[in-house]
Structure 1
């Protein structure tokens, strides 16, 4: 795996957890708060934060698709995981495993060449 692909995967991992937690933590909390109190002004910024994280996640996912040459099924899985609350946590686990496998493969190539 080259450095551009590894950095694209790492960026996707960095945004997957905050995106996964932004839906339940921000939107559901904000919705409950607005229903039980007079604090309605929080929903707009909380929704914007979640929206920005989702767009960044999708852009990073497309970048990984381009650089890592993932099959469409895998990209579709990670997109669906972004739509499911806490799905990005599972996606992060999958990315961590892929990243670890890539490091092991790179070290094996180094050892074989040295």
Structure 2
């Protein structure tokens, strides 16, 4: 399950950056393309975010993580590049 969490963490981080890229670079110049891409990108990011949080809570009990580690992993999911940091620091053994 740790290996799946590692993959989800990387995919969630990528989807977060793609969502920001859509907002910052495509929206000002190509509003129609922005509206077309918003739903699929947003939906995939939402699904990956929920999967990330659910797997983090499940792994808290399976791996006996303390509340501090779970909190850091949870906060990292809302910071750009945060999931890459978590993957590198906390999930390197997977």
TM-score between both structures, scaled by the size of structure 2: 0.87
4+ residue segments displaced more than 4 Å: none
Normalized per residue, the structure richer in helix is: 1
Give 5+ residue unaligned stretches, structure 1.
Answer: 1-7, 101-114
Which of 17, 22, 34 pairs up with 1:30? 22
**Whole-Å separation in 2 of the counterparts to 1:74 and 1:29:** 29
Structure 2 residue 52 is the aligned partner of structure 1 residue 57: yes
Residue correspondences, number: 90
What residue in structure 1 maps to residue 76 of structure 2?
81
Q: Quote the RMSD (CA, aligned, Å).
A: 1.3
**Whole-Å separation in 1 of the counterparts to 2:51 and 2:76:** 15
TM-score between both structures, scaled by the size of structure 1: 0.73
What residue in structure 1 maps to residue 8 of structure 2?
15
Which of 61, 66, 75 pairs up with 1:71? 66
Give 5+ residue unaligned stretches, structure 2.
Answer: none
